[in-house]
Structure 1
Amino acid sequence: MSKAHTSSYQGRRKPRAEFATRADYLDHELQSMEPRRWRPNLPFRDYRFEIEDWVPAMAATIGKIVMVAAIVAAFATQLGLPDAFVIENVRYELLIAAVLFVILVSGFLNPTANLAGTHGPLIPLIPLIVASGGHPMALGLLVGVFGFILGITKGGSLLAKLTSNGVCGGLLLYLGFIGVTGQIKKLFAWAEGFDMAYLAFIVILGTIIMYAYLEHIQKRWLAVPLGALLAAGLSFAFGAPFEFTTEPGIPNLNPMYWWGDETGWQLGLPQLHHFIAVAPFAILAVAMWSPDFLGHRVFQEINYPPKTEKVLMDIDDTMVSASARQVTGSLLGGGNITSSWGTYIVPAAIARRPIAGGAILTGLLCIVAAICGYPMDLAIWQPVLSVALIVGVYLPLLEAGMQMTREGKTTQSAAVVIFSSALVNPVFGWSLTVLLDNLGLIGCKERGKELGHVGRWVVPGCVFVILCALMAAIGMFPGLPPLLESFHTSQ
């Protein structure tokens, strides 16, 4: 066998029959791969499809429909647009994401760039963005520009390096706990809506037993499809109300329709004042990327075997890809605000699968869901949605956070980041704790000494001050009025 052949993925990989367990086979697949950065990566030449790839694909499709619907609905509510607009724009966004970026970028051109998903933490700020005179296209374009700058300057990876295991673990614990409790509350609110609150308890209890059993037999990667099936089955069995309403079809593909004065968003094209109004929110949105992207990469590191650095998610490339997807989607008429796709990368890491194969399957499922219409109704049905998010994203985040805070003085940093995140939000908690941790006030004192002045206080201090100024300007500090509002009032 030639040296060139043995140095390739095809030469290094071995068939499943040569391994004692499937887990060993999947580990070897990860260790054999060597993705080509911003060059064509072809199925079977550079990677293969496995049955496990369907798990993150299904979880990602469910998550995508739900999260994009939440963002577009938040805008639509403030702008007085009907529910039909929300459905059509979500279908449009699914096609944009699937065809132009999920399949093309993450599947073929750069398999170390995670899929560009949806910026969930920004949803509560959308009413304030619209009230401040914001425009969805202006917001999207600025998020894309700022994200691209951060990506090409490698600012994302720098911030990741300055974040200790304690800070990152605490952040994962906080996000996991808030996510689990939030979905449980939503599930009970759904069941109470038709006087069957006990159904939520039954669904959650069944999910706990199922998840524990899958952990026992080391098949946790099946949690999303089996959990969704269990939730739907129990809900149907107890007579919970459900009906298919979204019919098959293709959304309007003309960008001028979406950005018309009397069609689509009914806003026309943005003007200069729209960009000025959304600038603070765009900067904050991109600032939220770093802890989010870092958590996703760390989750891969925890679940992947040794010697798999080449297939880990590249934070800077993911930022560049997400920025390009954001600009393209906004110009075409979509309402999504992008980030790293957590409902894809977390289940993929659990299933010990790289990004590429599942990305292509995700794109295909998104296209099917957008055109068929009916799968969108099932994906956003509350029991299916809540259980899929709990077992596919939030419980794994809790487990990863606990694993990262087991050793040394990481618990100090973890406790502070949880405390400060609960006070304001995860962006504040992350930026404050990184500064305190790197200064040596908490956590490992020796670690701060190795970072130098730039890593110890210059970069963390500047990031903390800038983020606090932005959060104060738009009213994110509890009990304090927005500085922008105070400024406009004084004028």
Structure 2
Amino acid sequence: MATTDNNSYKEKRKKSSEFKNREDYLEHELSIMNFKRWKVHLPFRDFHIELEDWVPALAATIGKVVMVTAMVAAFAAQFGLSAEFVAKNVRYELLIAGGIFVIIFSAILNPRANLAGTHGPMIPLIPIIAAAGGHPLALGILIGVFGLTLSITKGGSKLMALTGVGVRGGLLIYLGAVGLIGQISKLESWASNVNASTVSFVVIGVTIIIYAYLARIKKRWLAIPLCSAIAGLIAFSMGVDFQFSTKPGLPHMNPFWWWGENTGWQLGWPDFGHFVAVIPFAILAVAMWSPDYLGHRVFQELNYPKKAKKVLMDVDDTMTVASIRQVVGTFLGGGNIASSWGTYMIPAAIAKRPIPGGAILTALLCVLAAIFGYPMDLAMWEPVLRVALIVGVFLPLLEAGMQMIKEHNDSLSAGTCIFACAFVNPVFGWALTMLLDNLGLIGDRDRAKGLSLKEKLIIPGIMFIVCVVSLALVGQLPGIPGIF
């Protein structure tokens, strides 16, 4: 139902008691909201905060602590920085980018822009970036510049529109399956290292049963907090030791301290050579955004009612927010590389909630976790962390990909995408199969016939070349040594 003014949401809103069930109420809420780009939105006037909003908020906070820690720790290992530095920098990111930034951009100014999270696929490249003479500040600035260029030209939404159903499904299946296997392996390895191998078996077994039951009663949005809490309780009750170690406090708030010669990163400010060294990595980071953002938008499309068009994530605006957050956060001293916040968007879509309500709660939890410190320890405890990622990110990714593959032609595109992803990585797989699919060499040939030359060859071809060249420069193509 179309809306025409800011008061229309309040006028059309109904109490939850007026609906047969909670799901009908949540879908009605989504259908009457009318978020606008770069306008002021206020709680209770343009949206409400519901109980379900706590689910993506909790998942996002756990994911944020974990992913930023992994990112900063990877940088710290290359530059010889201490674990104390990592803890301080993670706190800094939670306060600045995880708290204040989220409220301003994704809750108030543009609720159709997903929160700016962490670019997980870039973590394995950090040793290469450091070896090439890269500087975190130079990298962050260039990612922001390239990302803004792509968002301003509407390149993100165009690439999303040119990605066929089969390619989307194959990408999601690959990401979900690989991530799921990886998390289970890491949990088993951790349990073995603490001499409690049985713990991983029991935790995963109980998680499977609970998740299946929640799916049956259509309460999967409860999976993250419930399964994570039970996993932690099981591990603790089976004798695995857990202690709080991060004390309350605040990090340094001065950018000049972070980018000093003998303080913070101990690298000083970057010079021209540092910017040259990180160019291919910055291009690759932004090239990876499109498939990442595509996967998050798909979850909304699969779980929201068809008429809830005004609350769907805008890919280009999300790129804009991630780019701005990247430049600002890095300049202030943060070590995060930004992307669309998957551990927020996926559970929010499953819970049938729009972006802004949970964004406010996420910001609140991030700030509290940073100040008190102890929640960071709990979120990073292996059984809690692994189960949260399994049920909150990778299982839903796998399921969503499987739901999308309904036609034989789509299954061919999906299979090729999975093959190409496994051969190199998801960026290569997405770029190659998008090109082949749009040319009509795989997938739906009737769809390919309806595309223009620009949509069929020029745009997908340029994207494929950019991805392949970037991957080659940084040594990510099998058997081809990198230049950097």
User: TM-score under structure 1 normalisation?
Assistant: 0.97
**One-letter amino acid of the counterpart of residue 51, structure 2:** I
**One-letter amino acid of the counterpart of residue 479, structure 1:** G
Q: Following the alignment from structure 1 to structure 2, what is the Cα–Cα distance between the partners of residues 231 and 247? A: 24
| Long gaps (5+) in structure 2 | none
- Given that 2:59 and 2:388 are in contact with CA atoms closer than 8 Å, whether structure 1 keeps it comes out as yes
1:450, CA displacement in angstroms?
1.0
Q: Following the alignment from structure 1 to structure 2, what is the Cα–Cα distance between the partners of residues 266 and 20? A: 60
- The answer to whether 1:421 aligns with 2:421 is yes
Which sits farther off after the overlay, 215-224 or 6-15?
A: 6-15
Aligned to 1:286: 286
- The answer to whether 1:239 aligns with 2:239 is yes
Aligned to 1:489: none
- Given that 1:6 and 1:12 are in contact with CA atoms closer than 8 Å, whether structure 2 keeps it comes out as no
Aligned to 1:254: 254
The runs of at least 4 consecutive aligned structure 1 residues that moved more than 2 Å come to 3-7
Matches of residues 170-209 of structure 1 in structure 2 within 5 Å?
Answer: 170-209=170-209
Q: Following the alignment from structure 1 to structure 2, what is the Cα–Cα distance between the partners of residues 432 and 82? A: 41
**One-letter amino acid of the counterpart of residue 335, structure 2:** G
Number of residue-to-residue matches in the alignment: 482
Q: Following the alignment from structure 2 to structure 1, what is the Cα–Cα distance between the partners of residues 64 and 371? A: 15
Matches of residues 212-361 of structure 1 in structure 2 within 5 Å?
Answer: 212-361=212-361
Show CA shifts across 1:81-120 (max 9, x none).
0000000000000011134321111111100000000000
Aligned to 2:362: 362
Aligned to 2:449: 449
Aligned to 1:488: none
Aligned to 1:381: 381
- Given that 1:141 and 1:327 are in contact with CA atoms closer than 8 Å, whether structure 2 keeps it comes out as yes
- Given that 1:30 and 1:308 are in contact with CA atoms closer than 8 Å, whether structure 2 keeps it comes out as yes
Show CA shifts across 1:415-440 (max 9, x none).
00100000000000000000000000
- The answer to whether 1:107 aligns with 2:102 is no
**One-letter amino acid of the counterpart of residue 418, structure 2:** I
- Given that 1:255 and 1:332 are in contact with CA atoms closer than 8 Å, whether structure 2 keeps it comes out as yes
**One-letter amino acid of the counterpart of residue 401, structure 1:** G
Query: Aligned-pair RMSD on alpha carbons?
Result: 1.1
Aligned to 1:46: 46
Q: Following the alignment from structure 1 to structure 2, what is the Cα–Cα distance between the partners of residues 179 and 24? A: 32
Q: Following the alignment from structure 1 to structure 2, what is the Cα–Cα distance between the partners of residues 289 and 344? A: 16
1:323, CA displacement in angstroms?
0.3
Q: Following the alignment from structure 1 to structure 2, what is the Cα–Cα distance between the partners of residues 191 and 100? A: 37
**One-letter amino acid of the counterpart of residue 245, structure 1:** S
Matches of residues 38-77 of structure 1 in structure 2 within 5 Å?
Answer: 38-77=38-77
Q: Following the alignment from structure 2 to structure 1, what is the Cα–Cα distance between the partners of residues 40 and 351? A: 24
**One-letter amino acid of the counterpart of residue 43, structure 1:** P
Show CA shifts across 1:440-467 (max 9, x none).
0000001111111001011111111121
Q: Following the alignment from structure 1 to structure 2, what is the Cα–Cα distance between the partners of residues 317 and 22? A: 30
- Given that 2:100 and 2:363 are in contact with CA atoms closer than 8 Å, whether structure 1 keeps it comes out as no
- Given that 2:30 and 2:354 are in contact with CA atoms closer than 8 Å, whether structure 1 keeps it comes out as yes
**One-letter amino acid of the counterpart of residue 90, structure 1:** V
Which sits farther off after the overlay, 55-64 or 91-100?
A: 91-100
1:408, CA displacement in angstroms?
4.3
**One-letter amino acid of the counterpart of residue 82, structure 2:** P
Matches of residues 386-425 of structure 1 in structure 2 within 5 Å?
Answer: 386-425=386-425
Show CA shifts across 1:397-420 (max 9, x none).
111000111224110010001000
- The answer to whether 1:151 aligns with 2:151 is yes
Q: Following the alignment from structure 2 to structure 1, what is the Cα–Cα distance between the partners of residues 438 and 36? A: 35
Aligned to 2:161: 161
**One-letter amino acid of the counterpart of residue 61, structure 1:** T
Which sits farther off after the overlay, 458-467 or 59-68?
A: 458-467
Percent same amino acid at aligned positions?
62
1:36, CA displacement in angstroms?
2.4
1:306, CA displacement in angstroms?
1.5
Q: Following the alignment from structure 2 to structure 1, what is the Cα–Cα distance between the partners of residues 101 and 254? A: 19
Show CA shifts across 1:228-277 (max 9, x none).
11110000000112111100001110111000000000000000000000
- Given that 2:435 and 2:460 are in contact with CA atoms closer than 8 Å, whether structure 1 keeps it comes out as yes
Q: Following the alignment from structure 1 to structure 2, what is the Cα–Cα distance between the partners of residues 177 and 356? A: 30
- Given that 2:211 and 2:220 are in contact with CA atoms closer than 8 Å, whether structure 1 keeps it comes out as yes
Q: Following the alignment from structure 1 to structure 2, what is the Cα–Cα distance between the partners of residues 6 and 401? A: 36
Aligned to 1:440: 440
- The answer to whether 1:468 aligns with 2:468 is yes
Instruction: Look up the SS of the partner of 1:247 in the other structure.
Output: coil
Q: Following the alignment from structure 2 to structure 1, what is the Cα–Cα distance between the partners of residues 313 and 63? A: 19
1:4, CA displacement in angstroms?
7.5
Q: Following the alignment from structure 2 to structure 1, what is the Cα–Cα distance between the partners of residues 271 and 316? A: 30
1:38, CA displacement in angstroms?
0.6
1:12, CA displacement in angstroms?
1.2
Q: Following the alignment from structure 1 to structure 2, what is the Cα–Cα distance between the partners of residues 342 and 351? A: 14
Q: Following the alignment from structure 1 to structure 2, what is the Cα–Cα distance between the partners of residues 158 and 192? A: 47
Instruction: Look up the SS of the partner of 2:241 in the other structure.
Output: coil
Instruction: Look up the SS of the partner of 2:440 in the other structure.
Output: coil
Aligned to 1:98: 98
Show CA shifts across 1:47-91 (max 9, x none).
001000000000000000000000000000010000000000000
Q: Following the alignment from structure 2 to structure 1, what is the Cα–Cα distance between the partners of residues 156 and 143? A: 14
- Given that 1:5 and 1:11 are in contact with CA atoms closer than 8 Å, whether structure 2 keeps it comes out as no
**One-letter amino acid of the counterpart of residue 379, structure 1:** A
Q: Following the alignment from structure 1 to structure 2, what is the Cα–Cα distance between the partners of residues 6 and 383? A: 44
Q: Following the alignment from structure 2 to structure 1, what is the Cα–Cα distance between the partners of residues 466 and 245? A: 46
1:218, CA displacement in angstroms?
1.1
Which sits farther off after the overlay, 222-231 or 91-100?
A: 91-100
- Given that 1:16 and 1:22 are in contact with CA atoms closer than 8 Å, whether structure 2 keeps it comes out as yes
- Given that 2:55 and 2:225 are in contact with CA atoms closer than 8 Å, whether structure 1 keeps it comes out as yes
Show CA shifts across 1:196-241 (max 9, x none).
1111011000000000111111111000000111110000000112
Show CA shifts across 1:334-366 (max 9, x none).
000000000000000000000000000000000
**One-letter amino acid of the counterpart of residue 339, structure 1:** S
- Given that 2:112 and 2:317 are in contact with CA atoms closer than 8 Å, whether structure 1 keeps it comes out as yes
1:5, CA displacement in angstroms?
7.8
**One-letter amino acid of the counterpart of residue 320, structure 1:** T
Q: Following the alignment from structure 2 to structure 1, what is the Cα–Cα distance between the partners of residues 408 and 422? A: 24
Q: Following the alignment from structure 1 to structure 2, what is the Cα–Cα distance between the partners of residues 403 and 218? A: 16
Q: Following the alignment from structure 1 to structure 2, what is the Cα–Cα distance between the partners of residues 100 and 94? A: 9
**One-letter amino acid of the counterpart of residue 126, structure 1:** I
- The answer to whether 1:137 aligns with 2:137 is yes
